Chains A and B, each alone.
Chain A
Amino acid sequence: MMPYIPYNIPFVAVALLMGVSLFIILFKRNLIKIIMGIAIMGAAVNLFVVALGYRAGGVAPIYTSTPEGAMVLPVPQALILTSIVIAVSVIALMLTMVIHTYRHTGDIDAKKSRLLKG
């Protein structure tokens, strides 16, 4: 008898993380907080894709000497590994840009540090 795992919990978590990240990105003017929001959004999407590949009671998808039973889908995990690496580089790039913005304008508020508008 397999233990009952509520399937929807990861997707509820995805929705929550998505909501939190959107709130941060839309309403927080601090550039560092916007980057945090993007990181959380990335985490939400990654969790969504990984959770799609989950099979209840599945084992790790390592083909040599697997035990009996269902396997977790390997493809989403491979995809998300790529996505995580990309997210790291994007966030690093954004942080360097915020440092330069701070050096130039002395502020990291999206409204106060802006020079381009209209």
Chain B
Amino acid sequence: MSVLTYGYAVWSPIVWLVVLVVLGLIVLYVRSRGQKRYKKGTAQTDVFISGVQVPPAEQRHVPAHNIYWGFFEALQGFYDTMMRPHTGIINDYILWLVAIVTLTVVVLVMTG
């Protein structure tokens, strides 16, 4: 039922689930060995950044446009090229449609 067989291999999610459960049990065990005697609500559970004043919640969170900053910086040229056709103007959408239809007609008539 759960085993997916095809030409050259098999895929069984049950095996994965068993592995995941075992890993989860190991993680839970390691976690249960941890320190339990800390006091909640005191300085022991506060955020600590090398003694620097902790900023408020809004400033501690990295906003989405800063995530993968280096990736986008490295691919600046690619994204500039990509943004050029994505104009958001409806006429351009139809221009692409006409262009691709023409191309496909040429290809199919030449090969078919």
Contact = CB atoms under 8 A, between A and B. Distances in A.
State yes or no: do A and B touch (Cβ within 8 Å).
yes
A interface, by DSSP: helix, strand, loop or mixed?
Answer: loop
A89 B91 CA distance: 22
Contact of A117 (B88, B94, B95, B98): B88
Nearest to B82: A118
B interface, by DSSP: helix, strand, loop or mixed?
Answer: helix
A116 B88 contact: yes
Contacts of A110: 89-91
Interface residues on B, range: 10 to 19
A117 B86 CA distance: 6
Residue of B88, B90, B91, B98 contacting most chain A CB atoms (<10 Å)? B91
Interface residues of A, number: 14
A47 B97 CA distance: 22
Nearest to A112: B89
A34 interface: yes
Residue of A25, A27, A114 contacting most chain B CB atoms (<10 Å)? A25
A114 B93 CA distance: 13
A26 B88 contact: no
A118 B83 contact: yes
Contacts of A118: 83, 86, 88
A111 interface: yes
Interface string A74-118: 000000000000000000000000000000000000110010111
